[in-house]
Structure formats: structure tokens, C-alpha cells
Structure 1
Amino acid sequence: MNLHEFYYDLPEELIAQEPLKNRDESRLMILNRLTGEIKHDIFKNIISYLNPNDVLVLNDTKVIPARLIGVREDTGGKIEFVLLKRLSSDEWEILVKPGRRAKIGSKFIFGNGELKAEVISNTDVGGRIVRFSYEGIFEEVLDKLGEMPVPPYIKKKLEDKNMYQTVYAKHEGSAAAPTAGLHFTNKLLDDIRKYGVKTVFVTLHVGLGTFRPVKEEVIEKHKMHSEFYTVTEEAAQAINTARESGGRIISVGTTSTRTLETVADENGIIHAGSGWTDIFIYPGYKYKAIDGIITNFHLPESTLIMMISAFAGKENVMNAYKTAIDNKYRFYSFGDAMLII
């Protein structure tokens, strides 16, 4: 398929620059993937579209303050690191800007010297492998010096970094939030459970590779960046039991979707496990694990809009996006949501 089939023109004023004060008051579009029918609602009313016995599968990863601003040790030139993947206790794969200042052997200082780094190799996607040195516990140093790595299209500084975390975030390791989950409050989740819907948690640590622009004209040539996932026996059993009893499996976000599709067999049975996934889902892919998706509105020509198009049909999705623009929905990480069933 051609990359430009997934392009749409978005007015800049529709890119949400900050989260709503009340998470669950974002707008909700409901898309019927079989008929293309569209309805409009508010996210807190999502329970109206769920059935007792359904399962919501949520990604409980936690975003780390992965953006570090420092200087090169010898020249004082400013440098920006974004931590992507922990390779060992002190070695990380990172994105770096500007890259010309980060040659192998270059050394950098962050804060007042509490954290130092040396570039030890390059990656095949333009990143670097660095080794950090510090006193004490790395996570505590990072929490002090790091910033939340909000996407570049968000120009406004985030006043409360917890607004870029889901209320159920638990396992640290992501460079970006699983943003479909940002709409849930603890009260809404409690109400959903009381209604008879089960919530199940999986973990996928989101790397920025998920959002890396697709540069191949023929999308099948695009290579995904790998991300680490964990699905427990308890989670797998809960999902499989619900499916056996006629419940629908509804994934919250593209990250939960990728995790489930990685561990599902051809019959849709979920198998516990952990490891690295680089699954790339685009139209033509046959979904095995899910019956619905809750998702935000994604960038044009992104792997995320391709994944959604594979589930609901490209024509339905592109029409839904046009409808969202016409109705002035808010887009991207802090934007409104869509339920596809």
C-alpha cells in the first residue's frame, strides 16, 4: 500500500496542547467498523457501549522522565537525550539532538554533574548507545533531572507531569504514554467494574519508535522499533475465560492491541509471556485477539492510523477522521477518543 493513502490535512488549532482538567470529559466518537456508522458522545458515558462480561485490556506501563538536557563535557554545547530502551543497569539506547555532538567517545554532563554519560556506539536507526555514571540509584537521579518526553507537537509546558500518566500506571519503562488510557479516572474504572466489565492489565513499554515517521513510500517496507511487553498468566486466563463465555475483548490503545496480537495464536487464544515485539499491523492484517479498540486520533501517515485502518477499514477510518475535523474534535496525545466496535 502507498503511504499517502493514509494522509489527511489537520488544522493546527485542533492539536490539543494540554489535557482537560477532568480526564473523562473528552469527546468520544463511536465508530461501527462494519457499517461505518458514527455517533458522538462524552468519554464518561463509554459504559453505555460496553456489555457485562466484556474485558477492557489496559497497558499499565509508566512513563519515566526520559528527556535529559545537558552539555557536552569538553565544549559546553547543549545536548538533549531521550531514553528509549534500557540495555543493562547503566547502558541505554537513546535518541540524541543534535546528533553531530554525540560521536562515539563523547562525554556529557547533566545537572550539576550528578549524572554523566559517554557514547559507546551508534544504532542502525540513528540513535546512540550510552553508558551513564552516577552516585546512588539511577531512577532517583533521573526523577530529579529528567523531564516528561511529551511529543514535539505539544508546545505548551506540562504543569503537572502526572497528567501524562494513566491513573493505573504501575511499571516504569515508557518513553511515551499509552494515551488512550489517559481518559480514564479511578471512579470511571470502578463504575465500569461494578457494571460487570472486567479490567485486565498488560504491560508494553512504549518507545518512540512507535511514533517514528514512515519514510517508505510502500508501507510494507517499514520496519518497526521493538518494544518490551509482559502478559501474565492471570491476565491471559482472564481474557481467554471472557472470550469463552461470549465477552468481547476491547483493547485500550494501540499499545495494548499490539501486545495482544503478539501473544495470540491463530485461534485468538492469549498466551502468557514476555519479550520484544516489532509487530507492524496495517490493512490486510487479520486480527486474532480483539473485538474493539479505544483509541485517540493519530498523526497522518503514522503506523497507528494504519493499525486502526486494518481493524475498521481504511475508508471508514479516513471518513471518521474527516468527521472529527469537521466537528472540531481535539487530536493526538491530549485529544479526544474513539471507540471502534
Structure 2
Amino acid sequence: MSLKDILLPEDFPYLLGESIEVYAQPDAYEVVYQAHAKLWQEQRVRFSLTRLTNLYTYFEDENVQIIHITPSFESMQTTILDVVKEIEVANLMNSQVVAGYLEFSVSQNDPTEIEYRQIALYKSILDFNRKLGTSLITYRSAIHYELLTNYSDFSMITNNQQNCSLVDFLREQLSFKVKIGWGIGKTLQEARIQAEKAATYCTGSLTESYILTKENHLIGPLDGKTSIAMNDSDIDKLEEISRNTNISLLHLQKIYGLVYKLKKESLTAEELSIHMSISVRTASRILKRLEEFNYASPIANNVTRAKGRPSKLYKMNL
């Protein structure tokens, strides 16, 4: 529920655990009861919630007021219909078309080099298809290729828009950089336009990938399946920052990775919002929280926007 982003550690609810594995235990009722009962005996809670319907029977002999709530028939019916709608939406998403835009550059107008790179890139795409069992439909142009695929294969290739296995594969196979843009649109033409726009954000020195959704959300840069190397001291430091600031460790790891990938230590809330796929408001809250604990510091921003005030720039001190 994103409570960690808005509550202080001392205000955070007591949790039975970070997962629901406890409910799979043979003595789940006894384990959950003991956890609740201990908090009540130590007078650390005023109320508690549980999903175990019959747990209230364990408290019948104790001085705890029970409020037993069960769903109505109408509520169950509404929930089932909502689930059916979600399945239908998921099926529609998996069948929608996604476009890819792959572009390589050449240092000089050398027809032989251009032809070589065309052939090498096309062969790599075919090999990638064969390796993963995907069905990327490929169209060739002068110095770029267009790809068409379905959302299901796209999700597999990008690990649900987390990283891009095609990036990793092309880095291994090719000696030159390829810009990869993925576009999702309501129509095929819109998806193609979004893919070409996404490719323009690939400004790094290596092959990389960006996604531009139909809502114009930019996601990236997506590296390959190889994760950023983090030593034990880095991980320990991020965990310490997470405890101090109450910012989730996942968000901190993403910021760490973003600084690493972009090769820059200063970020605005807008940049953080785009690359982490979160709202600008949430990004601003994270940066202000980091500033409060001296893990980020505002610096002068000489880059002005066309309208309004320049975005506040923060130097990361992670």
C-alpha cells in the first residue's frame, strides 16, 4: 500500500511478516493468534486485522472486542465480475501489437560498412528469435529495422519492462552500438511512432533500450539481463539508508542503478519520475526525504525550461 513512503518507522503498523507464507503452515491459526495475542498483552496495539475468518474464536475468553466481518453475496458477485474483467483486459493486452525500432549509426557514409551492419543486425535478430522462441516480424530500412510483436512476447523480452534481453544479446553479438526503442500504442501506426521516439533517448555509448507507452510514459534505460554489480558494502549502505529514511530498498536500488547507468550524480524529480515510472509528486517526496537525511543536496540548476521555473536539481550522496 506504499505506506513506507508516507509513514515514519515508529508509526508503521506491526506486520506478521513480509510475505503470506505463514498462512500455508499447518498450524497457521495458532501462529497468527500468538502473534496478535503478544501485541495485545504488551499493550502495543489498539486494534488488529486478520484475514483468518475464524481467528476471533481464539479471543473469545480474552478482553478483546471482536468485530467479525464477512462479505455479502453482492460483494462476492462484484469481486468475481471484477476478476473476469481483469482477465479480459489482460487477454486484450497480450494480444495488442508492440513495435520496435532498431537503429545503428556509422561514422562515415561507407556503403560497405552500412551493408555489413545491416546483415549483421538482421542475422542477430534471427538468432535471437531462434534462441528465445519469439516471433519478431522484421522490416528493413536504410540504417534501421522495424520489429512487430505481440504484448506477450514483448513482456518476456523485457522481463515485464524491467530489463531487455535483446540488449544483452546484441551486446554479445555485435561490435557496434544499436539504439532500441519499443513503442506501445492504440494503433500500429501509433506504436511505430512511439518506438522511433523511444530510440532517440538512447544516448549512451553501448546498446541500450527505452520504452514509450501509449500514455507517453518513458521507461528506461533498460540494460540486458546482467544486473549492476553491487558489492556488500553498497548493499549494506542502501539498507541503512532505507532504515533511516523509510524509503523502500527497491526505490533506492533503482536510484542507485539510474545514477550508474546515466553516469550522472545529479537528478531532478522529473528525471526520476520518467526513469522509475512513478509520479513527479512521489519522486519529489523521495528526493526531499533523502535531502532531509543528507543523502541528497539541492544544487543550482542552470538549465531552464521553456515555461515556468527550472526544475530543482539534487546531487545524490548515496
Q: Same fold, TM exceeding 0.5?
A: no
**Shorter chain as normaliser: what TM range?**
under 0.3
Q: Larger Cα Rg: Structure 1 or Structure 2?
A: 2
Structure with greater strand share of residues: 1
TM-score using structure 2 length: 0.26
